[in-house]
C-alpha cells in the first residue's frame, strides 16, 4: 500500500512539473470567429484556417495569407513577437477573416484558454474585441 501511494505521489510530481504550454503543441483548425461581437462565417475562406503551435513558434493560414511568429506564455496570455505574413490580395470575405485574425497574432498579447479539445483566443477592445475558437487536429 505504501509503495503504491509513493508511486502515485511521484507520478503526480512529474506530471505537475511538466510544461503546461505543451498542451498547445498541435495544429488547430478554426471553428468559430467573431469580431466586435459579430460572427464571421469562416466557411468563406479560400483554404482551411489553422494555426500550428510548436515549442516557441507558431504559423498558420489566416484565410488568405500565411502567418508566423514566435511566442511565450505568461499565465493565460499568449504573447506573440516577431510576427509576419505573406501579403497576397484575396477575395473580400477571406480578407475580412484575415483582418480579424491579424488582431490576435500581430506582436501583442492575447488571452487564451484550453477547454477539452478547443483552444480559444480572445482579445478585448473598444468594439467588443475578437474571439477565435480552434479545434485540435488529430496528431
Strand, coil or helix: what is 68?
A: strand
CATH code of the domain containing 108:
2.40.128.270
Parent domain of 72: 19-136
In a domain, residue 3? The reply is no
In a domain, residue 2? The reply is no
In a domain, residue 117? The reply is yes
Predicted confidence at residue 50, as pLDDT, reads 95
pLDDT-derived band at 139, boundaries 50, 70, 90: low
Interior/surface letters 27-54, b for 16+ CB within 10 angstroms, e for the rest: bbbbeebbbeeeebebeebbeebbbebe
Check if the beta carbon of residue 113 is closer than 8 Å to that of residue 123.
no
Predicted confidence at residue 17, as pLDDT, reads 38
Average pLDDT of the residues in 69-84? 92
Predicted confidence at residue 103, as pLDDT, reads 85
Tell whether the model's pLDDT for residue 8 goes beyond 50.
no
Q: What is the number of domains present in the chain?
A: 1
The position carrying cell 477592445 is 125
Tell whether the model's pLDDT for residue 3 goes beyond 60.
no
41-48 contacts: CB < 8 A, separation 24 or more?
Answer: 41/93, 42/97, 44/91, 44/93, 44/94, 44/96, 44/97, 45/93, 45/94, 45/97, 46/90, 46/91, 46/94
C-alpha cell at 2: 505504501
Residue range 92-128, pLDDT digits in tens: 888 889 999 888 887 688 999 998 889 999 998 766 7
Average pLDDT of the residues in 33-41? 92
Number of H helices and number of E strands within the chain? 2, 9
Amino acid at each position: 500500500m505504501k509503495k503504491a501511494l509513493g508511486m502515485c505521489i511521484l507520478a503526480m510530481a512529474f506530471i505537475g512539473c511538466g510544461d503546461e504550454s505543451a498542451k498547445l503543441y498541435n495544429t488547430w483548425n478554426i471553428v468559430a470567429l467573431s469580431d466586435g461581437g459579430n460572427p464571421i462565417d469562416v466557411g468563406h475562406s479560400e483554404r482551411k484556417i489553422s494555426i500550428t503551435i510548436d515549442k516557441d513558434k507558431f504559423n498558420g493560414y489566416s484565410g488568405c495569407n500565411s502567418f508566423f511568429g514566435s511566442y511565450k506564455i505568461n499565465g493565460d496570455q499568449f504573447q506573440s513577437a516577431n510576427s509576419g505574413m505573406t501579403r497576397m490580395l484575396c477575395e473580400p470575405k477571406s480578407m475580412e477573416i484575415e483582418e480579424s485574425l491579424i488582431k490576435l497574432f500581430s506582436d501583442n498579447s492575447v488571452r487564451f484558454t484550453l477547454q477539452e479539445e478547443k483552444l480559444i483566443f480572445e482579445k478585448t477592445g473598444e468594439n467588443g474585441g475578437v474571439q477565435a475558437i480552434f479545434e485540435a487536429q488529430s496528431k
